[in-house]
Structure formats: structure tokens, C-alpha cells
């Protein structure tokens, strides 16, 4: 069914093609089936022999075949062209249509791809797929076996089809992105709930096993002191001894309460602020030469906690595993992100060995790196680990920067905002 001239086709036929294209793209199909439908429809209605729909990948560098008239539909996903490569690549790069009547091989823009069997086709027309806002999303090509004089009207009709398809592709991509985001939010909410439950269990354990036990003993010592005072004759020595024990227990309970709270938010952050807390953290590893360069970024409390905990775990790892002499801690603002880097000059390791395949029977690796990564992701940030045997290790945390008082970058982790400053002992 070759040879028909699109221009000769009356306006009614053109309207019918556009109408059917609209029907196909609004049928709620997934992107793949929609493009397949469009390719077949275009071939039928324009009386060409084959139609290829190439889409630009999300990075805008590669054109990939996403729809084709059978039997070429089996090649979907298999054919890739770089921007500028072949006629489709040229059209994508220049945003202009190309018409070739015959002798494609003589055209410097043409590239022969055996699977597409270009030798069977004589004439071709290629148009960019551009959204109404001018974003290029791909390229639409039609080919005919017999020679065909594609006209300006043919080009315009195919451009109209491409315009309709462009909007639908953008919508489909937007829809997919939204669905992915929704999934990510769901898993985020799940992790927050898990985290809250874990923290509640930890706090309950610490209060039950530590703090409550001490308060019960404290109560008995105070009762014994009261009895000693009320006795006839009163025994001040026993009373004083019992009160002394009660004081020790009160101090211990206070320490345990502080530790339990520190699990939520390190008190040092309230006392000194993040930058000075990192410096103080650096001084708490006496065997290491630790240099700290931290800008005073004034971020929301939960972000500061995440940064501090990451630095703490990274330093603990250096002390435990690296055999390093010196460490450098840097905190600064860079391209809208707060960036923490902890670099050591120690033994380094191969991070690839930490990623064990699912179902592997080996015991899991430590929790430190996984915890750091989880904290980063919860804040919409990233954690990068750069290390190689003999070359030291760098841990780099980057989280969206927000100023204290601004809404945080993602839901605030449960913490202890407004918890009273440390009480004097």
C-alpha cells in the first residue's frame, strides 16, 4: 500500500487521522502501547510503509525506539541513536524536519542500521516531536518502499500528529514520575513509623530498666532515712547514710535520663550549636589528628542532628577500622545543599564488598553506614562513600539546605525540640 500522496488526501482524511490519533492517545494506554498504536495508525492513514517513533531519554542524550509498525515492533527498546546520529539524530539536534526522496545512502546525515532494513525503503520523512512549550521529546519517521514526493502538506500533517503525541508523552512521563514519587512517599512514611516505634521501644526500655529501677531504690533509701529520723531514739547517722545513697541514685537516674535523651538529640547541639559541636567531637578522639572546618549554617534541629550523627559514626568508623593518622571534617553550603565531608588517610576498603546480594547467608555488615544512608534519604539527601584499599575513605553527606526557622527539607524527625537545656548537677 505505497505510493498514495498525502497532499492529495482531502481535508476530511487528515481530520480523520488526527481524530484517530487523539482517540489513541486519550485511551489511557501506557506509553508503550500508545506509541505502538500511533505508529500503526500513522502508517495506515498516511499510506506509508513503516513508522518509527524514537523518544529522547530523560537526560536528553539518546534517542531510543519506542514504537514501530509491525514487524519492526520487536525492535522496540533495542535501537538507540545518539543525538546527531543518523537522520533521526539530526532532526532531534536541529529541531527541523528532513525529507529524503531517494538515495538515502548519499545523504551524509543517513546512518545504516541493518535491523531497520533501510535498503527496502526509498523515501523518508522525519519530523521532531515537540511539545507546545517547545520541549523536544523525540522524532517520528515514516518510510515508503516506492519513491514518494513528500510535500509541505505531508510535513505539516506529520508535525500535527507529532504535536499531539508530544503532549501525551509528556503527560505519561509526568504521571509515571508522580506515581514513583507517591511510592517513595509511602515507603518514607513507613520508615518514619518504623523509626518512631523503634525509638519508642528504646526509650521505654531505658526508662523501665534504668531510670525507674533507680527511682524505686531511691524511694526505699528515702523511706529508710525517714524511719531512722522518726525512730526513738532517732538515728541521724543511718538517716545521713540513706540520704547519701539516695543522692547517688538520683544522680545516676539523671545521667541515664540524659543518655536516653541524647539518643534523640545530642545535648551538645543545644549547648554549642552544630559547628562547635563538630569541633568538640573532633577533640573527643585523642589518638587522631582531626581538623574541623565547619561553617555556622543555622539549620533546623533535625537536620543538625542528622549531620552530627553522621560525623559521629564516620569518626567512629575511622577510629575502629581505618588505622588513620589524620582526619578532615568539613561542613559547608554548596549549590543549595549542606555538605558534610569526613575524609581519612587510613587503609580504605572496597565499598563494593559491603553490597551483598539478597539471600546471602553471610552475616550482615555493620549498621553504621546503612544508618547514615537512611538518615540522608529521610532528609531527601544523599550519602556517598569514596574509598579504595590503601587510599583512605571519604564519607560525603549532602542534604537540602534550609535555614533555621524555614520549613525543613522533608518531614522533621521526631526529636526533642524545646527540651530544656541541661540542668546543672
Ligand X SMILES: Nc1ncnc2c1ncn2[C@@H]1O[C@H](COP(=O)(O)OP(=O)(O)OP(=O)(O)O)[C@@H](O)[C@H]1O
Distance of CA 424 to the CA centre of its chain: 43
Q: How many residues bind Mg ion (CB under 5 A)?
A: 3
For ligand X, which stretch binds (CB under 6 A), given 132-140, 155-163, 285-293, 320-328?
Answer: 320-328
Burial zone of 128 (CB within 10 Å; 0-12 exposed, 13-18 middle, 19+ buried): buried
Q: Parallel, antiparallel, or unpaired: how do β-strands 289-294 and 326-334 relate?
A: parallel
Contacting residue, 280, 365, 382, 406, with ligand X by CB under 6 A? 365
Which of 48, 126, 242, 317 touches Mg ion by CB under 5 A? 317
Residue 349 binds to ligand X (criterion: CB under 6 A):
yes
Residue 368 vs 411, nearer CB to ligand X: 368
Query: Quick one: 424 exposed, middle or buried, by C-beta within 10 A (0-12, 13-18, 19+)?
Result: exposed
As given in the structure block, the three cell numbers for residue 254 are 539523671
Radius of gyration of the chain (CA): 34
Binding to Mg ion, residues 335-374 (CB under 5 A)? 366, 368
Helix (H) or strand (E) holding 136: strand 136-144
Phi-psi bin for 137: left (phi > 0), alpha (psi -120 to 50), beta?
alpha
Instruction: Choose the contact partner of 124 out of Mg ion, ligand X, none; CB within 5 to 8 A by kind.
Output: none
Binding mask 131-150 for ligand X (x = CB under 6 A): --------------------
The alpha carbon dihedral of 94, 97, 103, 105 has a sign of positive
Answer for which of 205, 244, 336, 366 binds ligand X (CB under 6 A) is: 366
Which residue, among 36, 18, 32, 64, has the nearest Cα to 158 in the 3D structure? 18
Window 266-305: contact mask with Mg ion (x via CB under 5 A): ----------------------------------------
Count CB neighbours of 211 within 10 A.
Answer: 19
Residue 317 forms beta bridges with which residues? none
Scanning residues 290 to 319, which ones bind ligand X (CB under 6 A)? 317-318
277 vs 317, beta carbon nearer Mg ion: 317
**Which lies closer to Mg ion via its Cβ, residue 92 or residue 322?**
322
* Helices vs strands, H then E, count in the chain: 10, 11
Instruction: Report the residue closest to ligand X, judged by CB.
Output: 366
Task: Tell me which residues in 179-208 interact with ligand X (CB under 6 A).
Answer: none
- Chosen residue from 13, 32, 245, 321 binding ligand X by CB under 6 A: 321
* Binding region for ligand X (CB under 6 A): 317-318, 320-322, 344, 346-349, 354, 365-369, 393
* Binding region for Mg ion (CB under 5 A): 317, 366, 368
Amino acid at each position: 500500500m505505497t505510493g498514495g500522496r498525502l497532499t492529495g488526501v482531502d481535508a476530511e482524511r487528515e481530520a480523520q487521522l488526527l481524530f484517530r490519533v487523539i482517540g489513541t492517545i486519550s485511551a489511557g494506554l501506557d506509553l508503550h502501547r500508545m506509541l505502538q498504536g500511533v505508529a500503526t495508525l500513522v502508517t495506515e492513514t498516511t499510506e506509508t510503509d513503516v513508522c518509527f517513533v524514537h523518544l529522547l531519554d530523560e537526560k536528553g542524550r539518546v534517542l531510543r525506539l519506542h514504537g514501530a509498525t509491525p514487524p519492526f515492533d520487536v525492535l522496540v527498546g533495542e535501537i538507540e541513536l545518539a543525538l546527531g546520529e543518523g537522520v533521526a539524530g539530526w532532526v532531534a539536534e536541529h529541531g527541523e524536519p528532513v525529507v529524503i526522496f531517494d538515495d538515502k545512502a548519499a545523504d551524509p546525515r543517513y546512518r545504516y542500521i541493518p535491523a531497520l532494513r533501510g535498503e527496502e525503503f526509498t523515501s523518508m520523512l522525519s519530523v521532531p516531536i515537540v511539545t507546545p512549550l517547545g520541549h523536544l521529546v523525540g522524532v517520528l519517521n515514516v518510510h515508503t518502499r516506492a519513491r514518494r514526493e513528500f510535500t509541505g502538506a505531508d510535513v505539516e500533517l506529520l508535525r500535527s500528529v507529532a504535536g499531539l503525541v508530544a503532549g501525551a508523552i509528556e503527560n505519561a512521563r509526568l504521571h509515571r514520575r508522580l506515581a514513583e514519587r507517591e511510592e517513595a512517599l509511602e515507603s518514607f512514611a513507613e520508615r518514619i513509623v518504623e523509626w518512631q516505634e523503634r525509638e519508642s521501644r528504646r526509650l521505654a526500655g531505658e526508662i523501665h530498666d534504668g531510670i525507674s529501677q533507680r527511682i524505686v531504690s531511691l524511694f526505699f533509701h528515702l523511706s529508710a532515712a525517714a524511719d531512722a529520723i522518726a525512730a526513738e531514739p532517732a538515728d541521724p547517722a543511718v538517716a545521713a547514710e540513706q540520704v547519701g545513697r539516695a543522692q547517688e541514685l538520683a544522680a545516676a537516674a539523671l545521667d541515664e535520663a540524659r543518655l536516653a535523651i541524647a539518643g534523640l538529640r545530642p545535648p551538645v547541639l543545644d549547648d554549642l550549636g552544630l559547628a562547635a559541636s563538630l569541633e568538640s567531637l573532633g577533640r573527643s578522639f585523642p589518638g587522631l589528628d582531626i581538623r574541623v572546618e565547619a561553617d555556622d549554617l543555622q539549620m533546623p534541629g533535625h537536620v543538625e542532628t542528622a549531620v552530627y550523627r553522621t560525623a559521629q559514626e564516620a569518626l567512629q568508623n575511622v577510629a575502629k577500622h581505618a588505622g588513620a593518622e589524620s582526619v578532615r571534617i568539613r561542613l559547608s553550603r554548596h549549590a543549595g545543599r549542606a555538605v558534610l565531608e569526613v575524609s581519612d588517610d587510613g587503609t580504605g576498603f572496597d565499598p563494593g564488598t559491603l553490597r551483598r546480594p539478597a539471600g546471602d547467608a553471610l552475616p550482615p555488615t555493620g549498621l553504621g553506614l546503612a544508618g547514615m544512608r537512611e538518615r540522608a534519604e529521610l532528609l531527601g539527601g544523599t550519602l556517598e562513600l569514596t574509598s579504595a584499599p590503601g587510599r583512605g575513605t571519604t564519607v560525603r553527606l549532602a542534604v537540602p539546605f534550609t535555614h533555621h526557622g524555614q520549613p525543613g527539607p522533608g518531614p522533621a524527625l521526631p526529636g526533642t525540640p524545646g527540651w530544656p537545656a541541661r540542668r546543672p548537677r
